[in-house]
């Protein structure tokens, strides 16, 4: 027989096996595969381990036949509905008189005679001949092929040729420079000595000259009023004191457990899984590495290098700098403030040039604007008549015929049997549990028809009893 999982037996799609994480090794059939705390938990007095509040998956059987009545059906009160009377339309009566179809456009428009437009472009003339067309272009007839010769390369030879003469090391600046000695420039900076004036300092300001002092009046001071206590007693009665009635009552009792220390006479089991399974292995001390003692060499050390032995010393004249020395920045000579611009400058009287405006070509009107347009001048007002509204009156419709409460759902509804998912039972009917794998799948084997009949008979007897 084929084994089936709960995932395959379920018909409603809400029952699945409790999938476990991927397991590397097979797990034996133990009570708990995650911890052994619940197995070795010691009881301390009246304190027990916490219990799960998850409801048990109890199957609720058929509690009776379903009644199809609803609150809408029980509370509905049918009323007599009459048909709403129809509105009689008023008879159309044409208005007397003729319609004036004249417009301002027809009155003001003048008819002109228009002639058709004659094009000024001449008609196209097609000239054809009976001769055969010669398709040879002048380029093929006049082209002459010349012999092409290869051009000579005009690029200069840029290959480097080292010089045969010995390198001198002198620059053009050293060869052409002529030392003329140091000639310090004359400084024109003025001296930092302040110039003192001979005239006495006039410290009188315009405020001191024009200020006129006015006498101030004495400031009015209000006399303080003496404190007069009230002769009426203080009314310190509040709404809380007036409305409060001291009713006898009991203090609320606290449901907080007493903070007593949980003690037990049973000795504490300090053994752990690590202490029970720990195996002590012999450990040896690490070997220390002793460094070798330094021994100085006995032979003499040769400190000469290749550069020191091969180097040939030459008598070379030291380099002389051609840069001039720094000149002093300060000078004791006074600064000459006078310049040629200050001496020769003469201020001229300058007047602002007037703005050049272009004369107006169009003269503005001097009269008053009447704001009268052709539309206002030729407009003829007509009497307006309001439109007749054809909107039906807002009145309820009444009918003498009874209300047809039948719907397509009630007429076409076909009652079907409600099937119960077999995976919702604790013990699946018609299946026998075999085993479960490491991933959490629970496999069942389907019973033959004979065993299923016996099981059904047993369940019927149990229900009757």
| Residues found in the chain | 465
| DSSP string of 209-238, one letter each residue | HH----PPPPPP-PPPPPP---SSPP----
Whether the Cβ atoms of residue 426 and residue 59 lie closer than 8 Å to each other:
yes
| Span 106-120, pLDDT tens digits | 888 888 887 887 777
Q: Is the pLDDT of residue 443 over 80?
A: yes
For position 219, what pLDDT does the model report?
86
- pLDDT, one tens digit per residue, over 237-254 is 888 888 887 777 778 788
pLDDT tens sequence across 412-425: 888 877 778 888 88
**For the residues 195-215, what does the mean pLDDT come to?**
85
- How many Å apart are CA 245 and CA 251, to the nearest integer? 17
Q: What is the mean pLDDT of residues 153-167?
A: 81
Among 185, 188, 195, 184, which Cα is nearest to 334's?
A: 188
Alpha carbons 422 and 11: distance in angstroms, whole number: 8
Q: Cα(first)–Cα(last) distance of the chain, in Å?
A: 34
CA distance 403 to 397: 13
For residues 357-365, give the mean pLDDT: 77
Reported pTM: 0.20
Q: Note the pLDDT tens digit of each residue in 291-323.
A: 888 888 888 888 888 888 888 887 777 777 777
Band of the pLDDT at 461, cuts 50, 70, 90? very low
Q: Could you tell me the pLDDT band of residue 25, with boundaries at 50, 70 and 90? A: very low
> For residue 143, what are its two tokens?
């082209």
Residue 39: the pLDDT is 61
Residue with tokens 């009874």: 402
Mean pLDDT of the chain: 78
């Amino acid at each position: 027989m084929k084994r089936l999982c709960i995932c395959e037996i379920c018909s409603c799609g809400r029952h699945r096996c409790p999938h476990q994480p991927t397991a590397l090794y097979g797990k034996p059939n133990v009570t708990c595969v995650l911890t052994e705390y619940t197995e070795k938990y010691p009881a301390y007095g009246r304190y027990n381990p916490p219990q799960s509040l998850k409801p048990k998956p109890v199957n609720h059987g058929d509690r009776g036949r379903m009644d199809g009545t609803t609150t809408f059906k029980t509370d509905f009160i049918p009323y007599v509905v009459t048909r709403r009377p129809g509105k009689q339309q008023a008879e159309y009566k044409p208005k007397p008189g003729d319609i004036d179809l004249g417009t301002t456009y027809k009155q003001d428009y003048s008819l002109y005679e228009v002639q058709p437009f004659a094009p000024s472009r001449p008609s196209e003339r097609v000239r054809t001949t009976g001769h055969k067309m010669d398709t040879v272009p002048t380029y093929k007839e006049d082209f002459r092929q010349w012999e092409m010769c290869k051009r000579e390369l005009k690029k200069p030879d840029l290959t480097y040729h080292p010089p045969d003469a010995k390198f001198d090391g002198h620059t053009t600046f050293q060869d052409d420079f002529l030392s003329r000695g140091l000639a310090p420039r004359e400084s024109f900076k003025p001296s930092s000595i302040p110039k003192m004036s001979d005239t006495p300092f006039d410290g009188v300001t315009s405020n001191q000259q024009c200020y006129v002092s006015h006498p101030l009046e004495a400031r009015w001071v209000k006399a303080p009023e003496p404190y007069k206590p009230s002769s009426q007693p203080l009314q310190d009665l509040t709404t809380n004191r007036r409305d409060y009635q001291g009713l006898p009552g009991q203090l609320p009792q606290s449901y907080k457990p007493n903070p007593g220390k949980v003690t037990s006479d049973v000795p504490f089991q300090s053994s752990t899984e690590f202490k029970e399974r720990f195996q002590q292995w012999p450990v040896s001390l690490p070997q220390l590495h002793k460094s070798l003692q330094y021994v100085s060499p006995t032979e003499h050390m040769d400190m000469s290098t290749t550069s020191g032995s091969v180097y040939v010393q030459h008598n070379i004249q030291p380099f002389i700098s051609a840069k001039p020395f720094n000149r002093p920045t300060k000078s004791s000579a006074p600064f000459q403030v006078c310049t040629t611009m200050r001496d020769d400058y003469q201020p001229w009287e300058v007047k602002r040039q007037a703005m050049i405006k272009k004369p107006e070509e169009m003269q503005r009107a001097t009269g008053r604007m009447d704001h009268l347009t052709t539309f206002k001048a030729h407009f003829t007002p007509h009497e307006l008549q309001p439109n007749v509204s054809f909107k039906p009156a807002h009145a309820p419709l009444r009918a003498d015929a009874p209300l047809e409460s039948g719907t397509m759902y009630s007429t076409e509804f076909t009652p079907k049997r409600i099937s119960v998912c077999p995976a919702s039972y604790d013990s699946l009917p018609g299946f026998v549990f075999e085993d479960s794998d490491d991933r959490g799948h629970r496999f069942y084997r389907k019973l033959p028809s004979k065993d299923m009949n016996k099981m059904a008979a047993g369940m019927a007897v149990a229900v009757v009893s």
